[in-house]
Amino acid sequence: MSDIRMRPKFVRLATQPLSTVAERWKRQYYETADMIWKRYQCSIGSSSKEIYDKLVALGDNPTWQDINAIIGNLSWTHVSCDGCSEYVLVAVSIGEYDSKNKYCPTCVAEAAALLAQHKDGEQ
Ligand SMILES: [Zn+2]
């Protein structure tokens, strides 16, 4: 029997996996039961099916820049920070595994600085 006690990982990386964007796009915009593509409104003017085909054509290791050029926004490749609403490539999630809260490096750095300034409890 091991004496090692693992601390649960309360702080984890939060990213949007680029290799699954096409698959996630299809899951969101393709109605399997009716075999139809849902309408997608965007400034680029492509239908959801056209965007899916372009995402698939990027191959297995697309860059976020190529994906964003097709979709027209950062929401499929970046994480939205719950502290400041900025889109970042990498954030951290703090809390239980099902926690949806994500924080960007800037917010985490500001939080750490604030905690360091008040580590003795003074306010
Ligand atoms: Zn932030």
Is 123 within a domain?
A: no
Tell whether 36 is covered by a domain: yes
The environment of the single-atom ion ligand 1, i.e. residues with CB closer than 5 A, is 81, 83-84, 104, 107
**Token reading at 32:** 């399997």
Ligand 1 centroid – CA 62 distance (Å): 25
The residue that leads in pLDDT, 3 or 65, is 65
In-domain check, residue 108: yes
Residue 99 inside a domain? The answer is yes
CA of 63 to the centre of ligand 1 (A): 23
Q: What percent of the chain has pLDDT over 70?
A: 91
Expressed in angstroms and rounded, the spacing between residue 91 Cα and the centre of ligand 1 is 8
62 in any annotated domain: yes
Please indicate, yes or no, if residue 122 is contained in any of the structural domains.
no
pLDDT for position 1: 46
Give residue 44's domain range.
Answer: 11-117
Given a cut of 90, is residue 102 above it in pLDDT? yes
Give me ligand 1 centre to Cα 106, in Å.
Answer: 6
Is a pLDDT exceeding 90 seen at residue 6? Answer: no
Q: Is residue 2 part of a domain?
A: no
Residue 105 CA, ligand 1 centroid: distance in Å:
7
Question: What distance in angstroms lies between residue 110's CA and the mean position of ligand 1's atoms?
Answer: 9
C-alpha–C-alpha distance, residues 108 and 63, integer Å: 26
Tell me the pLDDT band of 82, cut-offs 50, 70 and 90: very high
Burial of 98 (0-12, 13-18, 19+ CB in 10 A): exposed
Segment 75-104 shows an average pLDDT of 92
Q: How far apart are CA 10 and CA 48, in angstroms?
A: 36
Helix (H, G, I), strand (E, B) or coil at 122: coil
Domains: count for the chain: 1
Q: What is the pTM of this model?
A: 0.80
**Residue % of the chain over a pLDDT of 90:** 71
82 within domain boundaries: yes
Q: Determine the distance separating the centroid of ligand 1 and the alpha carbon of 86, expressed in angstroms.
A: 6
Would you state the structure tokens that stand for residue 43, as one six-digit string? Answer: 């400034």
Mean pLDDT of 44-57: 91
Rounded distance between C-alpha atoms, residue 75 and residue 53, angstroms = 18
